[in-house]
Amino acid sequence: MALASQTQAALRVLRTTQGVASARALTQAEQQALLEPWLGPDVPVDTLPVPQLIEVIEAPEGYDVAGL
């Protein structure tokens, strides 16, 4: 439950940050696919202490990395 709240808070900040075109939490399947080369195809990622990955797309004008 805490992870979901933290993820939503991070997304709210990102979505209101100038220079961020879009931000979304990756699905469980997307995270599994990213980790599969290192952990193997049968590792239950949902049971590991893996943080929620968020995809951030930068707007053409860029964003203030230090300020974010």
User: What is the model's pLDDT at position 1?
Assistant: 64
Q: Which helix (H) or strand (E) holds 25?
A: strand 20-25
Contact 34, 63 (CB under 8 A): no
Q: From residue 24, how far is each of 15, 30, 39, 43, 55 by CA, in Å?
A: 9, 12, 24, 24, 5
Predicted pLDDT at 60: 93
Considering only residues 44 and 4, tell me which one the structure prediction assigns the higher pLDDT. 4
- Identify the pLDDT of residue 30: 93
Q: Which residues pair with 54 in a beta bridge?
A: 25
Is residue 63 pLDDT above 70, yes or no?
Answer: yes
CA distance 26 to 28: 7
What confidence tens digit (pLDDT) does each residue in 18-60 have?
999 999 999 988 998 998 998 888 878 778 888 899 999 999 9
